[in-house]
Amino acid sequence: MLKKERFRRFIDYFTTHFPEPETELNFSNSYELLVAVILSAQCTDKRINQITPALFARFPEVESLAAASVEEVFTYIRSVSYPNNKAKHLVGMARMLMNDFGGDVPGTVEELQRLPGVGRKTAHVILSIVFNQPTMAVDTHVFRVSHRLGLAPLTATTPLAVEKALMAHIPKQYVPKAHHWLILHGRYICVARSPKCGECALRDACKYYEKLSVELRVKS
């Protein structure tokens, strides 16, 4: 199957069966989403959703978080990965939002990446969800699934290379959705260990499954 056909199969399946995907992080505004995404680095959305209600109750807007101490923020996020660094990032992020952006979450990748704790992936998540921009955030799920399905070549060994490979073939109107499609597929079907190929509706267009099938035939 040609790469163009793989992309068409991928888009056709998800637009039909999962047309309106959404992030699994709980949030009610751009400030809360930014906090949640910073916290979610190397941590599960489930864990973040468990700790953010109390965090947002104590710091309901950027002003209160900017006025907080790192030590107090730490007490609310101690159960996430790297809580010391993330507490510093959250307070620093909130203070920069107040000082440089009037308390508003900015809408460009360059401005977002100035914020403590915000890298390219986090910036693209914000731009995609909040501003509906055609940006592709590449996390471990997107990276893995893209390679397995054959949407990204094996030579794409960095998140940026995978991002470029996907952006070159996915129509702009589908890019924000495709980010979620890849993440959710990787989270529940195309898992890192023992992928659930038997449950995957895309296995007919999957390079990984194609190779696996050949190996099984050779062994038999």
Which residues fall in the annotated binding site for [4Fe-4S] cluster? 190, 197, 200, 206
From the candidates 3, 46, 100, 139, give the one annotated as an active-site residue.
Answer: 139
Known binding-site residue numbers? 190, 197, 200, 206
Catalytic residue, chosen from 3, 86, 121, 196, is 121
Other Cβ atoms within 10 Å of 99 Cβ, number: 10
- Select from 23, 111, 25, 100 the least CA-distant residue to 62: 100
- Specify whether 121 is catalytic: yes
Calpha distance 179→7 (Å, rounded): 13
In contact, 65 and 73? CB cutoff 8 Å: yes
Interatomic CA distance for residues 208 and 132, integer angstroms = 31
Catalytically active residues are: 121, 139
